[in-house]
């Protein structure tokens, strides 16, 4: 049975293997032992913490298949709570000369911290062997069960940064232009420094004035707001949930950031709290994500269910109840796949 649960310190080796498999551009999982262990410890503390409003919590979960960790996903409760959270805002600068009859519209990139305080969907990665049977969809949507069950822990605005375009060696056309003119360090190095929380160089070296997009190299212009091909399925899933691009891009690879109000996310709206009933396995049907709504031992599984026992009840098998670590009569959160 597939189970999404909070990460534990014993998952370090599995998380490191996932970090190594994720490749360049996956900023939230750099291959760094100290950082990964800090992420695990921070997540354990966040799940155990009593929270009435979002702050500097980070919730990291793993997907377990018969005891093996095969994927991960996470949510940052409020980005920018302890350090600056940067984006480029894509805007338009209009130049008009009535006398000469000339009007020009030029796209600009302006450094900003506009998403400070938003919750962020992050760290979604599934090992290639498990990219089948909508397992990736399960892993992605499991985060919405957490958002629905514990709304007080998250902001009204939810964002997701999409990985931008880079090649197999980690070279980003957008960053190559910035590197040449401002930074002097390559993309993997900048990506790694950000991943380990060392963002001082951004404030020190990033252009202080808006960048005119038409002055970028042709290669850099072509990737502004574009996603890495491996990220296209993740973007499609979020767009189906109501997330939209609102002209903010990553400062390193110019990948798009998408956003949605928490309570407007389709999966969050569809997630229902019901009382569990014990039924026989042959009475189950459909395809659902079912969460136990408990902390710190939050769990989400994928299973059939019997939904015909009243609007506030759901029938589950003993195997499902056991996997969720609950008993018949306990409440659950259920979301159609």
What residues have CB less than 8 Å from 268, skipping those under 6 apart?
144, 147, 148, 262
Whether residue 172 contacts residue 25, with contact meaning beta carbons closer than 8 Å, is answered with: yes
- For residues 239 and 259, is the Cβ–Cβ distance under 8 A? no
Task: Determine the straight-line distance between the first and last CA of the chain, rounded to whole angstroms.
Answer: 16
Task: Return the active site residues.
Answer: 228
Q: How far apart are CA 3 and CA 136, in angstroms?
A: 13
Write the Ramachandran bin of 130: left for phi over 0, alpha for psi from -120 to 50, otherwise beta.
alpha
Residue with tokens 């069950």: 149
Q: 12-22 vs 33-48: helix axis angle to the nearest 10? A: 120
Beta strands at 211-212 and 102-112: parallel, antiparallel or unpaired: antiparallel
CA distance 167 to 119: 29
Element (H, E) at 20: helix 12-22
- Round to whole Å and give the CA distance between 52 and 152: 6
């Amino acid at each position: 049975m597939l189970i999404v649960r909070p990460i534990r310190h014993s998952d370090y080796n599995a998380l490191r293997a996932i970090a190594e498999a994720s490749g360049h551009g996956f900023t939230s999982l750099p291959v760094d032992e100290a950082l990964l262990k800090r992420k695990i410890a921070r997540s354990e503390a966040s799940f155990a913490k009593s929270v009435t409003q979002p702050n500097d919590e980070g919730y990291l979960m793993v997907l377990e298949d018969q005891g093996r960790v095969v994927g991960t996903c996470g949510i940052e409760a409020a980005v920018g709570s302890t350090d600056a959270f940067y984006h480029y805002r894509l805007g338009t600068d209009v130049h008009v000369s009535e006398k000469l009859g000339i009007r020009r519209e030029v796209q600009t990139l302006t450094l900003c911290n506009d998403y400070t305080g938003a919750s962020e969907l992050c760290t979604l990665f599934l090992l290639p062997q498990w990219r089948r049977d909508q397992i990736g969809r399960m892993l992605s949507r499991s985060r919405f069960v957490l958002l629905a069950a514990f709304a007080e822990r998250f902001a009204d605005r939810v964002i997701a940064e999409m990985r931008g375009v880079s090649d197999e060696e980690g070279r980003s056309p957008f960053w190559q232009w910035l590197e040449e003119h401002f930074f002097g360090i390559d993309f993997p190095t900048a990506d790694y420094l950000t991943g380990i929380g060392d963002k001082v160089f951004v404030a020190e070296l990033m252009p202080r004035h808006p960048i005119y997009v038409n002055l970028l190299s042709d290669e850099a212009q072509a990737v502004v707001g574009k996603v890495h091909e491996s990220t296209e399925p993740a973007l499609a899933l979020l767009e189906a949930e109501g997330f939209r691009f609102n002209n903010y891009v990553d400062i390193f690879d110019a990948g798009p950031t998408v956003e949605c109000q928490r309570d407007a996310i389709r999966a969050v709206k569809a997630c229902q709290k019901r009382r569990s009933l014990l039924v026989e396995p042959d009475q189950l049907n459909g395809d659902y994500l079912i969460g136990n709504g408990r902390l710190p031992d939050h769990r989400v599984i994928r299973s059939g269910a019997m939904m015909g026992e009243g609007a506030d009840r759901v029938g589950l098998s003993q195997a499902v109840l056991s996997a969720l670590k609950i008993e018949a009569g306990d409440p659950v959160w259920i979301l159609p796949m």
